[in-house]
Amino acid sequence: MTDKERIEALEKQVSELKESLKASGKQIIEWRNMSAYINQEIEEIFGDVTCLSGGSVFKTSLTTIVGKCFRKNTVMAMNKDEIAEAKPFIDYILDFARTTRKKYENEQAISGYERKNNQASF
């Protein structure tokens, strides 16, 4: 293989890598749009997207389930079609959380410590 052939092969490889980087950048942008949508919905349901309200735990759980269903290490690796396929599931879970939290909004949460002390001994 001559130097000229090597240079041409390397230039071809560089152009292919540039194209794959562009494609992965588009995937990240697609998920960022979905992530913003999920954040907005969680803010309506939980009040905010922090550890204090449970919103961040909810989002982490939701994105983990979605990512694992598509056999991805991260949801950022999902392409546009996969995100579109996951959207009905995401909407269903968000709707379930919204209606269930409204239904039980007057319930007082009991911590594990309180539950342990109030249980009958057998």
In a domain, 44, yes or no: yes
pTM above 0.75, yes or no: no
Quick check: is 91 in a domain? yes
Q: What is the pLDDT of residue 6?
A: 87
Does a structural domain hold residue 98?
Answer: yes
Is 46 a domain residue?
A: yes
The pLDDT of residue 109 is: 63
The total of structural domains in the chain comes to 1
Q: Is residue 108 part of a domain?
A: no
- pLDDT value, residue 122: 47
Within a domain: 119? no
Secondary structure string (H, E, C) spanning the chain = CCHHHHHHHHHHHHHHHHHHHHHHHHHHHHHHHHHHHHHHHHHHHHCCCCCCCCHHHHHHHHHHHHHHHCCCCCHHHCCHHHHHHHHHHHHHHHHHHHHHHHHCCCCCCCCHHHHHHHCCCC
Mean pLDDT, consecutive 10-residue segments, the chain of 122 residues?
Answer: 85 82 68 92 85 83 95 89 95 95 75 57 49
